[in-house]
Amino acid sequence: METQREKTHTCGTICLKYLLLLFNFLFLLAGGVVLVVGVWTLVEKSDYISLLNSSFYSVSAYILIAAGVIVIMTGIIGCCGTLKEMKSLLIVYLILLLCVFLLELIAGVLAYITYQDLDEELRQNLKGTMQQKYKQAGEESVTDAVDKLHQQFKCCGSHNSSDWMDNAWIQSPENDRVVPDSCCKSPSELCGIRDHPSNIYKVEGGCIMKLEEFILSQLYILSAVGIGIAFLQLVGMMFTCCLYRNLEEDPY
Distance between CA atoms of residues 10 and 206, nearest Å: 65
For the ranges 22-31, 59-68, 99-108, 178-187, the one whose mean pLDDT is highest = 178-187
Q: pTM value? A: 0.65
pLDDT for the residue numbered 97 = 81
Q: How far apart are CA 234 and CA 186, in angstroms?
A: 51
- Which amino acid appears at position 7 of this protein? K
Spatial separation of the C-alpha atoms in residues 199 and 181, rounded to whole Å: 10
Kindly list the distances between the CA atom of residue 123 and the CA atoms of 206, 231, 234, in Å, as whole numbers in the listed order: 11, 36, 39
Q: Give pLDDT tens digits for 89-124.
A: 888 888 888 877 777 777 666 666 666 666 666 666
CA distance 68 to 165: 45
Q: pLDDT band at 71, cuts 50/70/90?
A: confident
How confident is residue 7, by pLDDT bands cut at 50, 70 and 90?
very low
Alpha helices, H only, the chain? 2-44, 56-84, 87-133, 140-153, 168-171, 207-249
Q: Phi and psi of 160, rounded to 5°?
A: -165, 175
pLDDT tens, position by position, 149-185? 899 899 998 888 888 988 889 988 888 899 999 999 9
Beta carbons of 247 and 89 less than 8 angstroms apart: no
Which residues, at least 6 apart from 170, have a Cβ–Cβ distance to it below 8 Å?
164, 177, 178, 179, 180
**Pick from 181, 183, 147, 177: which is nearest to 165 by CA?**
177
Coil vs helix vs strand at 11? helix
